[in-house]
Amino acid sequence: MKITNTENQYGIVAILLHWGMAIILIGMVALGLYMTALPVSLLKLKLYGWHKEFGVLVLILVMLRIVWRIANITPSLTSLPWWESLAARSVHWAFYGFMLALPITGWLMTSAAGLAPSFFGLFVLPNLIAPNESHRLLFAEIHQWLAYGLIATFCAHVGAALKHEFIDKDEIMRRML
C-alpha cells in the first residue's frame, strides 16, 4: 500500500484520515445528541468537555486532510456517469464543509458562553467572540442543523458506497479500504 494516492487507489494517509475522522464524527454526533438532552450534572459537564476537545481534534485533522487532498491526486471517477461523479464529488466537498463548519460553530458557541475549549489539557484555545447569550443560541442552532446535515450527507455517502460494492460490484468502495 502506498503512502500517497494513485489514479486508482487511496494511499494510507488518506485512508487513515477517512476512517479515523469517520469514527470520531460518528461518536461526536452521537455524543452531541445524547449530552444536550441531559440535566445539569458532573457527567454532562465532562461530556461537554470531551466534545469540545474532540472538536478541536476534528478541526486540526480536517485542516491536515484538506492540505493532503490538495497536495495529492484524487483517484478518478471517470468510470462513472457524469451525474454520479458530480454527486459523489459534491458529497465529498459537502463533508469538508461540515467538518470545518461544525468545529468552528462549536468553538463560536462555547466562546459565546465564555468557556474556551481546551485541547486535552495541553492548551486552551482563545475565545473567538465575547460572551453573549443570543449569539450563543444562534451558533448553537447553526451547529445543530449542521449536525443534521452531516447525518443526511453521511447516509447518502454510505448508501452510495454500498451500492457500488454490492449492486454495481465495482472497485469504488474498495479504493478506500
Partner 1 sequence: MNRRTVLLSLALFLLPVIVAATPPAWQIDSKKSAISFSAIQNNSPITGQFTLFTGEINFDPTQLSTSHVNIIVDIGSVTTSYKEISDTLKTPDWFDVKLFPQAIFKADKFTKTGDKTYQAEGNLTIRDKTVPVTLQFTLEEYQNTKALIKGTTTLKRTAFGVGRGEWAKTDAVKDNVQVNFVLAVVRE
According to the binding rule CB under 8 A, does residue 124 interact with partner 1? Answer: yes
Residue 142 C-alpha from the chain's centroid: 15
Start-end of H helices in the chain: 12-35, 42-71, 82-112, 133-166
Q: For partner 1, which is the closer residue by CB, 53 or 84? A: 53
CA distance 114 to 126: 10
Rounded to 5°, angle at Cα 135 from 131 and 137 = 110
Using CB under 8 A, which of 115, 129, 161, 173 touches partner 1? 115
C-alpha cell at 135: 449569539
| Binding-site string for partner 1 from residue 45 to residue 64, where x marks contact by CB under 8 A and - marks none | xx-xx--xx-----------
Using CB under 8 A, which of 5, 104, 136, 172 touches partner 1? 136
Q: Provide the minimum distance between the beta carbon of 121 and partner 1 in the complex, in angstroms, as a whole number.
A: 4
Q: For partner 1, which is the closer residue by CB, 10 or 54? A: 54
Coil, strand or helix at 130: coil
Site residues for partner 1 per CB under 8 A: 40-42, 45-46, 48-49, 52-53, 113-118, 120-121, 124, 131, 133, 136
